């Protein structure tokens, strides 16, 4: 897992956009789940899930298509489970 966060502004940000890349090794997984423990004062608002297109050496080539919400579940805390 690789995770990066970006503030909407500095100083005094009101939002953080997180990018979380999982399974860059392209291993078979069944219903992988990404869970988060939010720091005090942060709350989950929304999520978008995208496929990653990988190079043969395991580096990211590009961001692929956005997954349809029926391809994953997300709970009230922002924990995401990919179906399949």
pLDDT at 58 over 90: no
The pair of three-digit structure tokens given for residue 80, joined into one six-digit string: 């995401």
Task: Let me know: does 51 contact 65? Beta carbons within 8 Å.
Answer: yes
Q: Poorest-confidence range of 4-8, 36-40, 51-55?
A: 36-40
Confidence at 13, pLDDT banded by 50, 70, 90: very high
What does pLDDT average to over the chain?
93
Residue 25 is predicted with a pLDDT of: 87
């Amino acid at each position: 897992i690789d995770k990066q966060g970006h503030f909407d502004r500095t100083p005094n940000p009101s939002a953080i956009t997180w990018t979380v890349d999982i399974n860059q090794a392209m291993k078979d997984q069944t219903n992988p789940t990404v869970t988060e423990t939010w720091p005090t004062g942060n709350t989950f608002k929304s999520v978008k899930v995208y496929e990653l297109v990988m190079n043969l050496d395991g580096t990211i080539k590009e961001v692929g298509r956005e997954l349809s919400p029926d391809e994953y579940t997300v709970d009230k805390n922002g924990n995401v489970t990919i179906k399949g």
